[in-house]
Amino acid sequence: PHFKKWEEERRQPMSFSTSTTAATLPVVSFEVDPVVNDISTCRDGDYFGLILVTNWPPSSPLLQADDDTNNVDRHYQKFLEAVKSCFDSEDTDTTVSVSTSTDYTRTVTEEEEEQEQQQCRPPAVYFQPVLALHVTLATFSRSHKIVDNNNENKAANNRRRECEKKRATELVRSASKLPEWPQKPIRLVVDSAQIGTKAGILLWKDLSGGVGEIRRCLQRAAAAEAEAAPLSLPVSGGGPGNNPADPDQLQRHGNYPTIPGIIHSTILRFSSIPKTPADRVQKKFRSEVLSKIGKDFFPSNNHSTDDNNNNNDDDNESGGAVIVADTVKLACGSTPYMHFPADEKHILWSCELQQQQQQKQH
- How does pLDDT run along the chain (362 residues), one tens digit per residue? 433 333 343 344 444 444 444 455 678 899 999 999 999 888 999 999 999 999 998 875 555 444 444 455 677 889 999 999 999 999 998 754 433 333 433 454 666 555 655 566 799 999 998 889 999 999 999 999 998 777 778 899 999 999 999 999 999 999 999 999 999 999 999 999 999 999 999 999 999 999 999 999 999 999 999 988 755 555 433 333 344 444 444 444 458 999 999 999 999 999 999 999 999 999 999 999 999 998 899 887 665 555 444 444 444 433 457 899 999 999 999 999 999 999 999 999 999 998 544 444 44
The CATH number that applies at residue 134 is: 3.90.1140.10
Q: Is residue 47 a part of any domain in this protein?
A: yes
Q: What is the pLDDT of residue 151?
A: 79
Q: What is the pLDDT of residue 211?
A: 98
Q: What strands, in cross-sheet order, belong to the sheet with 327-332?
A: 135-145, 47-54, 327-332, 347-352, 358-361
**Contact present, 318 and 17 (Cβ < 8 Å):** no
Q: Is residue 175 a part of any domain in this protein?
A: yes
Q: Is residue 13 a part of any domain in this protein?
A: yes
DSSP string covering 206-227, please? ESS-HHHHHHHHHHHHHHHHHH
- Cα separations in angstroms, 318 against 207, 303, 314: 15, 10, 7
Question: How far apart (Å, rounded) are the C-alpha atoms in residues 42 and 40?
Answer: 6
Question: How far apart (Å, rounded) are the C-alpha atoms in residues 164 and 251?
Answer: 9
Question: How far apart (Å, rounded) are the C-alpha atoms in residues 251 and 239?
Answer: 12
Q: What is the pLDDT of residue 1?
A: 41
**Contact present, 306 and 207 (Cβ < 8 Å):** yes
Give the range of the structural domain holding residue 14, as residue numbers without chain letter.
2-95+108-361
Is the pTM for the entire model greater than 0.85? no
Q: Is residue 103 a part of any domain in this protein?
A: no
Q: What is the pLDDT of residue 304?
A: 56
Which tens digit of pLDDT belongs to each residue from 140-161?
A: 999 999 987 777 788 999 999 9
Q: Is residue 102 a part of any domain in this protein?
A: no
* Distance from chain centroid for Cα 25: 23
**Contact present, 360 and 344 (Cβ < 8 Å):** no
Q: What is the pLDDT of residue 249?
A: 45
Q: How many domains are contained in the chain? A: 1
Q: What strands, in cross-sheet order, belong to the sheet with 186-195?
A: 125-127, 264-270, 199-206, 186-195, 322-325
